[in-house]
Structure 1
Amino acid sequence: MASDRLQGEAEFWLFGYGSLIFKPPPHFDRRVPGYVTGYVRRFWQTLSQDHRGTPTAPGRVVTLIERSFYETLTDHHPPGSDRIWGTAYRIQAARVAEVREYLDIREINGYTIHYTDFHPADESSVIKTLVYIGTPDNDQFTGPQDPQKLAEHIYRSKGPSGPNKDYLLSLEAALDGLSPESGDGHVKDLANRLRRIETGSDTVISREAIEHELQKVGSTDEQEETEKHGF
């Protein structure tokens, strides 16, 4: 595919590596599967009342971590492939300002703007894309966590956008659908742990988690709230 069909000076491209894969931004006219390199995707970003949790029980969502920084940390999951799969969206030229404003609101909780090279799955020309990343210096960044405790936390968290587990399972399915090689080991392991928790075939959820579920009964956490997009 010729590069001028994908990218021009006036074009605006956005890379989605989390909920943007299964909840696209408005006003896009092209959706391209592919990957970026030099990062690791982890469920190490918190969300409070904005999306998949509450102020007292924030949920967990993904962020990208520069691989050079990630290699200084101790993680329970191997880093996996250097390719972080997702989707690039080209926004209609007349709607760029509107979409940028929408994204700034959607991604404001701990996320900052970065630019990175995106490699389309069909091996056409590289696209320069904007991406929102929750960097380690923001106060919503959690860092490495025990996978089982993280899965339990995701299982019990819920916010205005719905259960945190729906975010995890939707991301798993969306990634699996992009390419035969687009699955993410970290996401897959957490999803498998969550399914075992749901079926009762895994280790009993911690006492803290059980007490949290009991406290939620009749609380404002359970009140129906307006649907918002996740990250």
Structure 2
Amino acid sequence: MATENHAPGLATFGQNDDFWLFGYGSLIWKPPPHFDKRVPGYIEGYVRRFWQASEDHRGTPEAPGRVVTLIDRAHWETLTDHHEPTERVWGAAYHIPREKVAEVREYLDIREINGYSIQFTPFIPSSAPSTPIQTLVYIGLPSNPQFLGPQDPDELAAHILKSRGPSGENREYLFQLEEALRGLGEGARDEHVRDLVERCRGIEAKEGRKEVEGDVVGERLKKVGSTEEQEEVEK
């Protein structure tokens, strides 16, 4: 399904207590504040890729890191990619109560400032009832200056391993994303993410580096009301 233009209806979205946000990157394990429902599920018609530069969270302006964005499937098919796409992009949808929408919107606009823009897309919950939910989603469109396009996976993995920014190491973002996707349930695996993790671990094994220790996803989800720490760009 193609992404809808965000201008129509944006000002009124959420006024009927129907504000839903879809997260497909760091928002899966580091949710927005004030959500009262978190629903695993997926969207269709997109491909998730580590093709967005991060100058403010997992990298710096001098040495940008790499974070995920979504590419419209029709546009992706015009590109040369080393990975096959999944049929669905899994993530989590968050419901924000009407009285908190303005505050959360302001928070998200700061968190997603580095090249991401607001779009809308239908979200399918993984559990019954599986009625589609219209969700707001932040996407780094190909027209944004941080979009990098296709990259050699070995070079991409090596770049992720050496990058870090105010929010921490770029490798942590990648490893936590894979772990968070596993936690969403059967079928949520993403071959692009999994392959990059394996390439990074292979490089680390050769260099004698340690993997990220511990399961931090559960702890991240407990901190639902905190906006004190630095937030990753995303998805």
TM-score under structure 2 length normalisation = 0.82
Superposed displacement of residue 123, structure 1: 3.8
- Answer with 91-100 or 25-34: which moved more: 91-100
Match of 1:152 in 2: 158
Match of 1:195 in 2: 201
**Which residue, out of 114, 136, 148, partners 2:119?**
114
**Which residue, out of 163, 166, 175, partners 2:169?**
163
Match of 1:90 in 2: 95
Question: Hey, what's the Cα distance between the residues in 2 that align with 1:141 and 1:97?
Answer: 28
How many matched pairs?
200
Superposed displacement of residue 8, structure 1: 9.1
Question: Hey, what's the Cα distance between the residues in 1 that align with 2:75 and 2:52?
Answer: 16
TM-score under structure 1 length normalisation = 0.84
User: Is 1:175 aligned with 2:177?
Assistant: no
**Which residue, out of 143, 149, 174, partners 2:149?**
143
Higher relative contact order (CA 8 A, sep 6+): 2
In structure 1, the gaps of 5 or more residues are 1-6, 203-225
Aligned residues of 2:115 and 2:140 also touching (Cα < 8 A): yes
Question: Hey, what's the Cα distance between the residues in 2 that align with 1:43 and 1:123?
Answer: 31
Equivalent position SS for 2:187: coil
Match of 1:221 in 2: none
Spell out structure 1 runs of 4+ moving beyond 4 A: none
User: Is 1:64 aligned with 2:70?
Assistant: yes
Q: Sequence identity, in percent?
A: 62
Tell me the amino acid that sits aligned with residue 77 of structure 1.
H
Aligned residues of 2:15 and 2:98 also touching (Cα < 8 A): no
Q: Which has the larger radius of gyration?
A: 1
Over the aligned positions, Cα root-mean-square deviation in angstroms equals 1.6
Task: Output one character per residue of 1:156-189: Cα deviation in whole Å (capped at 9) or x when no partner.
Answer: 0000000000000000000011011101000000
| 1:200-211 map, 5 Å | 200=206
In structure 2, the gaps of 5 or more residues are 1-13, 209-227
Match of 1:11 in 2: 18
User: Is 1:133 aligned with 2:135?
Assistant: no
Match of 1:46 in 2: 53
Question: Hey, what's the Cα distance between the residues in 2 that align with 1:102 and 1:111?
Answer: 14
Tell me the amino acid that sits aligned with residue 82 of structure 2.
H
Question: Hey, what's the Cα distance between the residues in 2 that align with 1:47 and 1:120?
Answer: 29
